Amino acid sequence: MTAVFAAVHLLYTLRGIRFDYQPLFYYYQYLDIELLYGDLLRSLFYQHSQPPLFNLFLGLVLKAFGNQAPAAFQAAYLAMGLGLYLSLDSLLRRLGVAPWLAWGLATLFLASPAFVLYEHYLFYTFPVAFLLVRSAVSLERFLAGGEGRDLFAFFGIVLLVCGIRSAFHPLYYLAAMLGVALARPDLRRRTLRVGALVLMPLLLLCVKNGVYFDSFGTSSWLGMSVARTTIERAEREEIQQLYDAGKVSQLAWIQPFAPLEAYPEYYRGVGYDPPVPVLTRETKANGERNLNHVAYLAISEQYLADALAVLRSHPQVVLRSLATSLPIYARPASAYAPLEGNRERIAGYERWCNLLLCGEIGRTRATGGTCLLVAIGTPLLLVYALAVAGLALPGRPAPVPRAVMLWLVFNVAYVGLVGNLLEVGENNRFRFMTDPLLLALLGVALQHLVVLGRARRA
Give the pLDDT band of residue 400 (cuts 50, 70, 90): low
pLDDT tens, position by position, 40-52: 999 999 999 999 9
pLDDT of residue 458: 66
pLDDT of residue 396: 47
pLDDT of residue 395: 47
pLDDT of residue 359: 85
pTM value is 0.93
Cβ neighbours of 22 (radius 10 Å): 13
SS3 category, 96: coil
Q: What is the distance between the alpha carbons of residues 256 and 225, in angstroms, rounded to a whole number?
A: 8
Secondary structure (H, E, C), 241-282: HHHHCCCCCHHHHCCCCCCHHHCCHHHHCCCCCCCCHHHHCC
**Helical segments of 369-425, H only:** 372-375, 377-390, 402-422
Percentage of the chain modeled with pLDDT above 90: 78
How many helices (H) and strands (E) the chain has is answered by 25, 2
Q: What is the distance between the alpha carbons of residues 179 and 16, in angstroms, rounded to a whole number?
A: 44
- Give how far Cα 183 sits from Cα of 240, 245, 335, 407, 451, Å: 51, 52, 38, 11, 26
CB environment 288-313: b (16+ within 10 A), e (fewer): bbbbbbbbbbbbbbbbbebbebbbeb
- 399: cis peptide before it, omega within 30°? yes
Q: Do the beta carbons of residue 110 and residue 5 sit within 8 Å?
A: yes
Average pLDDT value for residue range 119-133: 97
Q: Which residues contact 115 (CB under 8 A, 6 or more apart)?
A: 81, 84, 109
Which H helix or E strand runs over 48? none
pLDDT tens, position by position, 269-302: 777 777 899 999 999 998 999 999 999 999 999 9
Average pLDDT value for residue range 405-423: 94
CB environment 192-230: b (16+ within 10 A), e (fewer): eebbeebbeebeebbeebeeebebebbbbbbbbbbbbbb
44: nearest Cα among 268, 274, 276: 276
